[in-house]
């Protein structure tokens, strides 16, 4: 009776002996989903994720300067391509893991209407966005403001954050009445949606194709390759959908 148990322990020990770590740079909008995905990844492979979250543009600068990240999970598809073209990522490993969705959010229930008209309201004094120079969601927010013909009215109210995570914090703490954030930040599976939001129509901003890529530092790390494979799995895709992303 003990033999199956002992065999299982030996198999577990063998898998742990081959377990590794992955240094992952992840776009701030995907940090929450990746934490959930990482739980399943570790359970399935034994590998552990070491996650750094931030703005995609800043990661690009760090990576070309020699930062030891092994996988980049970006908020756009251009940065992984540029890294591969410059020899900082493994060519042919980039793929789109999600399509991002932008929302205009307030921490106050009922504050945001279903057409986003509140953006033009005089009662709004501060609008948080991620830095459009380094954060794709910030660039998308600027497209929306322009598309709605509100550049002159809204630009003086903008509060620029380093990343979309910081933009969320500006709104959550009341330092801005409104903010452009990712749907994944406010529609967390298993939690009530805080405040109120307008899901920005996709025709008001360019498609946010979010790509992942194997970086040169991770080229010889089996755990890094395993993570990219796991992102394509049905289990990962299910969680990505639950967080409100398209595939």
Q: What is the pLDDT of residues 177-215, one digit of tens each?
A: 999 999 999 988 888 889 999 999 999 999 999 999 999
Instruction: Quick: pLDDT tens for 53-108.
Output: 999 999 999 999 999 999 999 999 999 999 999 999 999 999 999 999 999 999 99
Q: What is the pLDDT of residue 15?
A: 45
Q: In this model, does residue 126 exceed pLDDT 90?
A: yes
Q: pLDDT over 90 for what percent of the chain?
A: 88
Of 227, 220, 215, which Cα lies nearest the Cα of 82?
Answer: 215
pLDDT of 6 reads 54
**What integer best gives the mean pLDDT of the chain?**
93
Average pLDDT over residues 120-132: 96
Q: For the beta carbon of residue 16, count every other beta carbon within 10 angstroms.
A: 9
* pLDDT score recorded for residue 11: 45
Task: Give domain limits for the chain.
Answer: 2-99+208-242, 102-199
pLDDT of residue 3: 57
CA–CA distance, 57 with 78 (Å, rounded to integer)? 10
Judge contact between 224 and 216, C-beta under 8 A: no
Same topology for domains 2-99+208-242 and 102-199, yes or no?
A: yes
CA distance 51 to 106: 28
Please check the confidence at residue 17 and state whether its pLDDT lies above 90. Answer: no
Task: Convert 175-204 to b/e letters by CB count within 10 Å (16 or more is b).
Answer: ebbbbbbbbbbbbbeeeeebbbbbbbeeeb
What's the pLDDT at 110?
96
What is the per-residue pLDDT for 192?
86
pLDDT at residue 246, rounded to an integer: 94
Greatest distance between any 2 Cα atoms in the chain = 76
Distance (Å, whole) CA 220 – CA 129: 37
Q: How many CA atoms lie within 13 A of 107 on its CB side?
A: 14
Nearest to 206 by CA among 146, 153, 128, 159: 146
CATH number of 102-199: 3.40.190.10
- Measured in whole angstroms, the distance separating CA 219 from the mean position of its chain's CA atoms is 22
| Residue 23 in tokens | 């240094």
SS3 18: coil
Q: Which CATH class is domain 2-99+208-242?
A: alpha beta
Q: Is residue 40 classed as helix, strand or coil in its secondary structure?
A: helix
């Amino acid at each position: 009776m003990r033999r199956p148990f002992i065999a299982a322990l030996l198999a577990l020990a063998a898998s742990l002996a081959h377990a590794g770590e992955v240094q992952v740079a992840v776009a701030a909008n995907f940090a929450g989903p990746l934490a959930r995905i990482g739980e399943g990844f570790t359970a399935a492979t034994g590998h552990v994720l070491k996650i750094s979250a931030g703005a995609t543009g800043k990661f690009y600068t760090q990576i070309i300067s020699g930062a030891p990240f092994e996988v980049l999970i970006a908020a756009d598809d251009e940065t992984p391509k540029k890294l591969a073209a410059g020899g900082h990522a493994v060519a042919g490993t980039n793929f789109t893991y999600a399509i991002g969705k932008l929302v205009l959010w307030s921490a106050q229930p009922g504050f945001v209407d279903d057409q986003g008209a509140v953006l033009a309201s005089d009662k709004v004094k501060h609008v948080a966005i991620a830095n459009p120079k380094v954060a794709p969601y910030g660039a998308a927010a600027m497209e929306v403001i322009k598309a709605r013909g509100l550049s002159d009215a809204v630009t003086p109210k903008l509060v620029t954050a380093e990343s979309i995570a910081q933009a969320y914090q500006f709104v959550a703490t009341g330092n801005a009445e409104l903010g452009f954030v990712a749907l994944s930040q406010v529609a967390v599976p298993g939690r009530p949606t805080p405040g109120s939001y307008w899901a920005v129509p996709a025709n008001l901003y360019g498609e946010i194709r979010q790509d992942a890529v194997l970086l040169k530092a991770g080229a010889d790390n089996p755990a890094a390759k395993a993570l990219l494979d796991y992102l394509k799995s049905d289990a990962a895709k299910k969680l990505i959908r639950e967080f409100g992303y398209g595939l």
